Structure 1
């Protein structure tokens, strides 16, 4: 693999690494707060990926002005879509944290393993 190719695609590689870190966090931790943090890391990687798709090296911002003949523009659509995605991600995080608070009030813990044990004891009774 060529070093120049890695440098040119560093945004995509970074997005993939962030997504894997978030997925690993969600799958391996039983703490609900850590799972929410893992989901946030995965969301951030998706934002990075989509904004990187719209970027063009040497391109100008898509603002109306006179640009000589062969001028390129950065695609503004992925960035605009990601603004909506960020709003959705923040609202999902707030909702998830409020559910974790209710779970803690009901079970006294936010560890999934302990909650499963408590629920299995309750269902046996």
Structure 2
């Protein structure tokens, strides 16, 4: 299962990198969202995909699950949600001000493609 998750993380990173290198601001925002999802899955996979009981005192179980990766992922989800919301508001404001979401036109340089 870890190998499958590693392949999924690689595909997410590859897609996010492709989207972040484009000229459209909305594609860049989607790319950062995919990159954060890939990072969440990477943290979960590196923590180990084990089944076990919750680490509670007084409960006797054969194996326990480490709660640290889950806590890190929960914190990262909240942070990435805030960053994505900020990016969306910034992109909306830039579109209303400049009338485009093309990064090259926002800089003022025209490309002849």
Counterpart CA distance in 1 for 2:38 and 2:68 is 17
Scaled by the length of structure 1, the TM-score of the pair is 0.77
Scaled by the length of structure 2, the TM-score of the pair is 0.84
Question: Relative to total residues, which structure has the larger helix share, 1 or 2?
Answer: 1
Counterpart CA distance in 2 for 1:8 and 1:92 is 28
CA RMSD of aligned residues (A): 1.8
Tell me the equivalent position of 2:26.
Answer: 33
CA contact (8 A) 2:2 2:45 kept: no
Residue number among 37, 43, 48 corresponding to 2:36 in the alignment = 43
Q: Which runs of 4+ in 1 moved over 6 A?
A: none
Is 1:104 aligned to 2:98, yes or no?
A: no
Shift of 1:8: 4.3
Q: Would you say how many aligned residue pairs link Structure 1 and Structure 2? A: 109
Structure 2: any 5+ residue segments left out of the alignment? Answer: none
- Which one has the largest radius of gyration? 1
